[in-house]
Amino acid sequence: MSNKLIIMSKVRNIIKLYTEGVSKQSIGERIGLPRNTVKKYIRLFLASGKSLEEITLMTDSELEQMFLTMAPRHHLEDSPRYQALEAFFPAMEKALKKRENTKEKLFGQYVEEHPDGYKYSQFKDHYLKWLKRRNPVMHIEHKSGEKMYVDYAGKKMQVTDPTNGEIVSVEVFVAVLGASQLTYVEATYSQKKEDFITSCENSLYYFGGVPKVIVTDNLKAAVIKSNRYEPTLNEAFQDFVSYYMMAAIPAGPYKPKHKALVEGAVKILYHTIYAALQDKLFLCIEELNAAIKVELEIYNDRLMNGRPYSRRQMFEETERSMLQPLPYRRYELKRRKKVTVMKNNYVGLSEDNHYYSVPYQFIGKKVTLLYNESGVEVYYRYERIALHKRNRHPFGHSTVIDHLASKHKFLSDWNPDNFIERAAEVGPETKEYIIQLLSMRSHPEQAYRSCQGVLSFSTRTSPERLNNACRRAHQYGDYSYQTIRVILEKGLEKNLDEDISQQLPRHNNIRGKNYYK
């Protein structure tokens, strides 16, 4: 017998018809209630000892409370059939964590063990109620345009290398909007921050707008250090979400329920997109993503389970207009590199072998280079101290005049006077060579490293050999560290009286002074 109360107006009609002598079956047919329900309320009415007039004078709340206190409690848990069902649930919960198992499949096992057990609809209903008692969770109402949940599927897809037939496993990125559940899926080669940020950005352009919050898993591409209170975001990912004016909220460590929406979407994708593509061969990731896109549209346009609308319809009606607009330009992923400011107040970007000036006050300090395809930024303790256009000219120098130490007469052990003085200790030819080397650059700081390299030969060989090498290079009119190195390695500083009208032989290690202009 159900303990759920019906509308009190129907109860009053049951009692009125009963006192008029109408049969229980006829009462049920007139009011539209099962005969057992009619019998229940007639029994409670008689047990109350009240008359029809007394019942009429009671309010609905009073009448309802009276029946609640009088109704016998039915303890479902005492039923042997239910106890057998409940004993089946723990193993069922564990089995459902495996992708190959479904409720329908496990119901079949239950029926084999308990032929007189519950039917499928009651089986599912009791299981859901059991889960709520075992793992109570709060129902989350998702607001339109507020959150996007992102994650990687646990099961990878595959592409086949056409050159050698090797099968390559690829990651599958999934993004879901909270309110409409519109979903974006793409395959990537890795979960590294470059691929992860690109996938997040592609999802924004697929949705055609930007949510206020992005909820991520605790993968290293998004979170450097997980913490239930204040997780530390990856700097590159933080820069990305700042560019799109989003807030990033990593899910709690080992808390899949914090991103249950995307976890649920992944499970559905296994039975839809994965199932549709599992027997197909893809020779590159581009082919795979093209096939995913076709199946994704089918998935988003399909009616949701138990609802008369699709994810796409829900998105268009309730969520598209609530998303923030996309910026004019796509985000450019910035790379980071820690370097030390050299004594000539330049920093080197080793990827291009190019040097960029920074203010002389930061000589010897550790700074961060933040660079992309178009620019290079230099930061010291979260403050930007220099900004340059990216220049890929090898061994070149990008200079801001106000950065230079010489302009401010800044004294350090790297300055023109110091190099000239050290060169004079080696010999007059070395001193003249260093003077010319400094004058060949538009700014003396650009020659400091070359000067330091040339003078280092005085300890690695001998001052006499270096002085002779500088004399020979001066005769050639070629002023660079590489020139002195080749002369010393080849022993060309000897026999200075021989004809030097011929230029140095062509060699890959000798670029010549015109190379640096």
Compute the distance between CA of residue 219 and CA of residue 190 in angstroms, rounded to an integer: 12
pLDDT score, position 121 = 86
Q: Is 151 helix (H, G, I), strand (E, B) or coil?
A: strand
DSSP result, 384-449: EEEEEE----TT-EE--GGG-TGGGT--SSSSHHHHHHHHHHH-HHHHHHHHHHHHTSSSGGGGHH
Q: What is the mean pLDDT of residues 350-371?
A: 86
> 13 or 220: whose pLDDT is higher?
13
Specify the CATH architecture of the domain 147-322.
2-Layer Sandwich (3.30)
Q: Across all residues in the chain, what is the average pLDDT?
A: 78
Distances (CA, A) of 482 to 154, 439, 462: 54, 17, 18
Is residue 255 predicted with pLDDT exceeding 60? no
CA atoms lying within 13 Å on the CB side of residue 333: 14
Compute the distance between CA of residue 250 and CA of residue 260 in angstroms, rounded to an integer: 13
- The pLDDT tens digits for 348-357 are 888 888 889 8
Q: Is 157 helix (H, G, I), strand (E, B) or coil?
A: strand
pLDDT score, position 293 = 92
Structure tokens at 421: 């003085």
- Within 8 A by CB and 6+ apart from 156, the residues are 169, 170, 171, 172
Q: Is 181 helix (H, G, I), strand (E, B) or coil?
A: coil
DSSP result, 441-498: SSSGGGGHHHHHHHHHHHHHS-HHHHHHHHHHHHHHT--SHHHHHHHHHHTTTS-TTS
Lowest mean pLDDT among 4-13, 472-481, 503-512: 503-512
Compute the distance between CA of residue 326 and CA of residue 453 in angstroms, rounded to an integer: 51
pLDDT score, position 222 = 47
CA atoms lying within 13 Å on the CB side of residue 17: 20
Instruction: Output the CA torsion 135→141→145→151 (10° steps).
Output: 10
In 134-231, beta strands by DSSP E: 147-152, 157-160, 167-177, 183-188, 213-216, 223-225
Band of pLDDT at residue 474, cut at 50, 70 and 90: confident
Structure tokens at 294: 């076709």
Closest CA to 390 of 359, 361, 353: 353
Name 171's bridge partners. Answer: 188
**Strand-pair category, 167-177 with 157-160:** antiparallel
153 within 8 A of 172, measured Cβ to Cβ = yes
In the chain, the percentage of residues whose pLDDT exceeds 90 is 5
pLDDT score, position 497 = 56
Compute the distance between CA of residue 66 and CA of residue 74 in angstroms, rounded to an integer: 17
Is residue 214 predicted with pLDDT exceeding 60? yes
- The pLDDT tens digits for 161-199 are 877 778 888 888 988 888 788 889 999 888 887 888 889
Structure tokens at 351: 């990827």
- The pLDDT tens digits for 33-90 are 888 888 888 888 888 888 888 888 887 777 777 776 665 545 555 678 888 888 888 7
pLDDT score, position 203 = 92
Which of 225-239, 283-297, 364-378 is most confident?
A: 283-297
Structure tokens at 229: 């209170």
Distances (CA, A) of 509 to 436, 461, 486, 506: 21, 20, 8, 9
Q: Report the greatest alpha carbon distance in the chain.
A: 140
Compute the distance between CA of residue 323 and CA of residue 128 in angstroms, rounded to an integer: 34
123 within 8 A of 130, measured Cβ to Cβ = no
pLDDT score, position 2 = 44
> 484 or 236: whose pLDDT is higher?
484
Name 385's bridge partners. Answer: none
Is residue 358 predicted with pLDDT exceeding 70? yes
pLDDT score, position 208 = 92
Compute the distance between CA of residue 323 and CA of residue 92 in angstroms, rounded to an integer: 40
pLDDT score, position 417 = 77
Lowest mean pLDDT among 223-232, 249-258, 308-317, 360-369: 223-232
Structure tokens at 475: 């005769």
- The pLDDT tens digits for 130-149 are 776 665 444 455 677 888 88
Query: Domain spanning 8-70: which CATH class is it, in words?
Result: mainly alpha
Compute the distance between CA of residue 105 and CA of residue 100 in angstroms, rounded to an integer: 9
